[in-house]
Amino acid sequence: MSFLKSLYTVLELESSEEEAEQPSKRARCEEPEASASPSHGASTSASPLFLNKLEESEDHSDELSLQQIFEEHPLGNSAALHAVLVNFMIDLPWVCRECPSLLSVPRLTVVYGDGGDASREIQKQRIQRDPKFLTKLHSPPLPLQWGTHHSKIALLIYENCLRVCIRTFNDVFPDVHQKSNAMYLQDFPLLESNAATAATDNFGADFRQQLCKYFGESGGFDPSELERYDFSSAAVAIVSSVPGYHSGPALLDWGSLRLRKLLERHAKPLKDVEGEGIICQASSFGNLPKKWLEDFHSSLSASQQLGPKPPLQMVAPTLSQIRDSIEGWVSSVALFISKATVTSYQALWRRWGPKQ
């Protein structure tokens, strides 16, 4: 939601407290200093992490539009050879209106949780344009009754590079234009035959391995297509989640236990941060059993192995913040937080608010 676009001080949620005056929906704090990490994205930002560009918002180097992801091609390319769209909700006709190159890409793969019927209409349109165009639609297996395919990733495959974009938004109009979301975007060159460093780079190899594991579980895309790209410049580590049960060594490959392993290996212990905590913000907080929440807290605190766990804080929008957002009350349909979840852990809840 738009009010999350600025970084505000976290204030406690108290129903009896009158909320402080909210800042403008498009208010922003000062631009952060550029990161030293390498940039491979369609932006001048030095970081591969971005926000989505909202309707009528000002231009900022840390924001990307849908067109910048799919229509501004890297390394001199004029079009992708294969586009892979993975999401829970996909309004493919709308996405193709926003990014028309997807109608003419030689190969289009859509891995969806919801939106199959509309995607089939685009499949027909692409065949009418050129019978040689290949369109593959795939709905991943859901082995659990309550399982959901919720992953959000896009791959653009070129002759000389690969673009990877992992997003937090569904491919639907309100998520892209009216809700604040985040994304990671990075382009990777071809793997050179004499690139010994690429073969021995553990971080890059892990990045590729996690992509391959994910698509190996979800299906719809042959991960062997990724083998010819050089991931040694990967700026992030991937934490995937797929519906189902995991056991043995595979437990550490997915979800919060994978995150715990990464933090233990790569994160440095925090120092001189008394009073600071771990802030978790999401649009959906389902049933949170005490044991699961304790394990999740332990995973997030993995870098603090020799010290006490930082306090855990969970952030959710208040009624007035929902009312005053770009979408207004309509945006509440995307929020799934049960009363039981809130009342069971009242001490953990916070809200975004302006500095006092």
CATH number at residue 163: 3.30.870.10
Percent of the chain surpassing pLDDT 90: 58
Q: 36-87: per-residue pLDDT in tens?
A: 333 344 444 579 999 999 987 888 889 999 999 999 999 999 999 999 999 9
- 139, 159 contact by CB (below 8 A): no
Determine, yes or no, domain membership for 66.
yes
Shared domain for 116 and 224, answered yes or no, is: yes
Which has more confidence, 210 or 6? 210
Shared domain for 207 and 79, answered yes or no, is: yes
Q: State the Cα–Cα distance between residues 264 and 304, nearest whole angstrom.
A: 8
Shared domain for 72 and 98, answered yes or no, is: yes
Q: State the Cα–Cα distance between residues 196 and 213, nearest whole angstrom.
A: 23
Shared domain for 11 and 50, answered yes or no, is: no
Q: State the Cα–Cα distance between residues 6 and 28, nearest whole angstrom.
A: 5
Average pLDDT of the residues in 227-252: 93
- 286, 308 contact by CB (below 8 A): no
Shared domain for 224 and 289, answered yes or no, is: no
Determine, yes or no, domain membership for 284.
yes
Say what the pLDDT of residue 285 is. 84
Determine, yes or no, domain membership for 318.
yes
Say what the pLDDT of residue 96 is. 97
Determine, yes or no, domain membership for 343.
yes
Shared domain for 86 and 129, answered yes or no, is: yes
Q: State the Cα–Cα distance between residues 322 and 332, nearest whole angstrom.
A: 7
Burial state string for 43-61 with b = 16 or more CB within 10 A and e = fewer than 16: bebebbbbbbbbeebeeee
- 309, 343 contact by CB (below 8 A): no
Determine, yes or no, domain membership for 47.
yes
3-state secondary structure of 163: strand
Angle in degrees, 0-180, between the axes of helices 255-266 and 290-300, rounded to the nearest 10: 30
Q: State the Cα–Cα distance between residues 17 and 326, nearest whole angstrom.
A: 24
> What is the count of structural domains for the chain?
2
Say what the pLDDT of residue 306 is. 67
Shared domain for 10 and 44, answered yes or no, is: no
Shared domain for 22 and 117, answered yes or no, is: no
Which has more confidence, 24 or 353? 353
Which residue range forms the structural domain that includes residue 330? 1-30+269-356
Q: 131-187: per-residue pLDDT in tens?
A: 999 999 999 988 888 778 899 999 999 999 999 999 999 999 999 999 999 999 999
Shared domain for 170 and 71, answered yes or no, is: yes
Q: Which residue's structure tokens are 């009342």?
A: 343
Tell me the Cα Rg of the chain.
21
Shared domain for 183 and 285, answered yes or no, is: no
Residue 278: both structure tokens together: 């771990």
Determine, yes or no, domain membership for 256.
no
- Ranked by mean pLDDT, the top range of 90-104, 240-254, 272-286, 332-346 is 90-104
Shared domain for 164 and 310, answered yes or no, is: no
Q: State the Cα–Cα distance between residues 107 and 247, nearest whole angstrom.
A: 36
C-alpha dihedral over 3, 8, 12, 16, to 10 degrees? -50
Domain end call among 180, 210, 234: 234
Shared domain for 133 and 207, answered yes or no, is: yes
Domain end call among 234, 253, 286: 234
For residue 331, which amino acid is it? S
Determine, yes or no, domain membership for 258.
no
Pairing of strands 153-157, 107-114: unpaired
Please tell me the pTM assigned to this model.
Answer: 0.84
Which of 105-109, 145-149, 207-211 is the least confident region?
A: 145-149
DSSP calls for 113-151 = EE-HHHHHHHHHHHHHH-TT-EEEEE-----STT-----
Smallest Cα–Cα separation from 314: which of 289, 291, 337, 340? 337
Average pLDDT of the residues in 252-280: 86
Any idea what DSSP says for residue 270? P
Say what the pLDDT of residue 115 is. 87
Burial state string for 74-106 with b = 16 or more CB within 10 A and e = fewer than 16: beebeebebbbbbbbbbbbebbbebbebbbebe
Residue 179: both structure tokens together: 């809700």
Say what the pLDDT of residue 196 is. 53
Q: State the Cα–Cα distance between residues 195 and 344, nearest whole angstrom.
A: 54
Smallest Cα–Cα separation from 164: which of 67, 69, 284, 290? 69
Residue 180: both structure tokens together: 């604040």
Looking at every residue in the chain, the average pLDDT score rounds to 84
Helix or strand holding residue 295 (H, E): helix 290-300
Determine, yes or no, domain membership for 259.
no
